[in-house]
Structure 1
């Protein structure tokens, strides 16, 4: 969400000028103490909301109590909340980006009480906001089906894919030595280690590949409570020596993994957008992904799609990609072209159109 905020703020003024024949827009970023001084873009005024964002109670309190008067004092015509929740009052037009309905459709995505909090705040934001922005049409359908949000109130605004970081990828030989990858082929999956990401099914599918030709499975990402279950499953299936769980990786290391990977696989059961799929495509890695929720919508025919509920289907897609060099090359090219369609300039233009629409609707 912070990436989206930064990329959007860099481009909204340009989108406004293009839409209005040169008229600029005044931008104010309301940020917490931790994000203060972050350089949100040229001409963007920063207002610090006096809360500690690492404390969920303070975060909610800041949004509901502090933000409305601060926005009124700043003279905001539109307040756009980017994190699926929003202030429920204020004289300004309220636009909210709801990225997904994880709390309802895959409740194991949230640890602790966060799911219960989101179960109150997200429906409230959907009701009280004047317009809703979603990353994919599938989320618009979810809002209608599960919250009763009218489809005509919702704007579909796909996210963009950020340019590759201006870093030199880690040398492959060094990376292989450090992560103990040997000379084997690399199957890469970059996602949070949470149950709905379906990594247990991926490990089961991986364990069924022929041992003689089995690649090494690399699952980078910050440690979570779920990682112990993943490690246990790999051990029970006798593939613990074939799976790597690197935690935090430098940008150079991650780019090195993308460069060395033979296949990228993303088996999630539900996503509001599925940015990791596009990030892998942009780097020319052949992708196999779930075809559910937004993932099939985002990937199109530039990836091999499978059912996340079928271990055999996941295994079959991986095996097919590993065995078919021509298919890998086709998906490399198709993925790069597909990812190029998702630009932050397009995101900014569609977002500004939502602002214009809400102001027009309110007179």
Structure 2
């Protein structure tokens, strides 16, 4: 029987995207797969109430550190100065940090999951202080950790190349599909009325408004669809990131006002409803650690076009139309095909559901538990 500490200090509910889904779903799967082991989740004040209400198995307890983790400098100080001592007092046998950074020094074995290195590939996505902090912490911590887990082979290759961590110290552990299906999805008619979508076809992109998400190219590709697609509406659903103003300006310049909608953050019920009414989905990102929206579309039977960048071909396989992430015409052509070729769309839906079935949280937990066994056995 092992006692595992799980560091989720990075988790600020509603503010950290797919990494929140990773923590919530993985902890449940780990505890269910290893009922004789104990798991202590170390979090900040903001996350503690919802984590305690998560409904995890009885072998999980939540330990709150006295820090507001939305304050990133305070969170980093807590991770370096408070977390190792708290883990030692709790008697954990191994500390696993789930959010790319980890304490540089711990009293026992340490494992870190590196979700992505977007801060290196697209530094303009991050405020300067955050960028400096990540560069100071991630590389040294990863090199000191006993094992590193990445969520795709693409991230593993990036960690080897950019952080100089030996490949034989890195394990790849894929994720399961993202948000749970919501039974009370918002009705299509209500969404069409509220978002001004009319009665036509809907192209859905689930993405925050950030530089590496490549949404300017998406707008240009959508504008290039041409005659016969005037009824189509593009919905970009995700929190309003640092690119929001540029995207709104580009929508106006391309004459897409009223045809391209930026929803900002929406509820799970609204997102489930959007998947239900979407004719197709598109994911143009330049860099992903994994790409949960790809799986979410496939699980829900929405035909998908995806860029061919970083991890996305690993996830999509042959179940999506892949296009060059830098080519707006290629994006437009892929979307046109999904909107007009029903046989192709149906084939991709069938392929997508079959492929998504291989990405489960049970499998993800098994991969992570194997890493724990390797470290503790050593």
TM over 0.5: yes
Does 2:39 align with 1:27?
Answer: yes
Structure 2 match to 1:222: 239
Tell me the secondary structure at the aligned position of residue 306 of structure 2. Answer: strand
Match of residue 212, structure 1, among 228, 244, 261:
228
1:119 and 1:163 map into 2 onto residues whose CA distance is 30
SS in 2 for 1:164: coil
Aligned to 1:326: 343
Please tell me whether the aligned partners of residues 306 and 321 of structure 2 are also in contact (alpha carbons under 8 angstroms). yes
Q: Structure 2 CA distance, aligned partners of 1:163 and 1:196?
A: 22
Does residue 110 of structure 1 match 2:126? yes
Q: Which residue of 2 aligns with 1:336?
A: 353
Task: Show the 5 A alignment for 1:1-363.
Answer: 1-16=19-34, 24-37=36-49, 38-39=51-52, 41=56, 42-162=58-178, 164-214=180-230, 215-361=232-378
Q: Check conservation: 1:103, 1:109, Cα contact below 8 A.
A: yes
Hey, which of these two has a bigger chunk of helix by percent? 1
How many Å separate the matches in 2 of 1:314 and 1:260? 21
Secondary structure in structure 2 of the residue aligned to 1:256: helix
Runs of 4+ in 1 over 6 A off after TM superposition: none
Checking the alignment, whether the CA contact within 8 Å between 2:151 and 2:289 is kept in structure 1 is yes
Asked if structure 2 preserves the Cα contact closer than 8 Å seen for 1:267 and 1:308, the reply is: yes
Kindly state the Cα deviation for residue 166 of structure 1 after the two structures are TM-superposed.
3.5
Instruction: Kindly state the Cα deviation for residue 112 of structure 1 after the two structures are TM-superposed.
Output: 4.1
Change (3 A) 1:151 1:285: same
What's the secondary structure of 2:181's corresponding residue? coil
The Cα offsets for residues 85-106 of structure 1, whole Å up to 9 and x where unpaired, read as: 0011122100000001111112
Partner SS, residue 288 of structure 1: strand
Structure-1 separation of matches of 2:258 and 2:34: 54
Match of 2:171, SS? strand
Do the aligned partners of 1:201 and 1:311 also contact (CA within 8 Å) in 2? yes
Q: Tell me if the contact between 1:16 and 1:349 (Cα under 8 Å) persists in the aligned partners.
A: no
| SS state at 2:317 partner | helix
Give, in angstroms, the shift of residue 309 of structure 1.
0.7
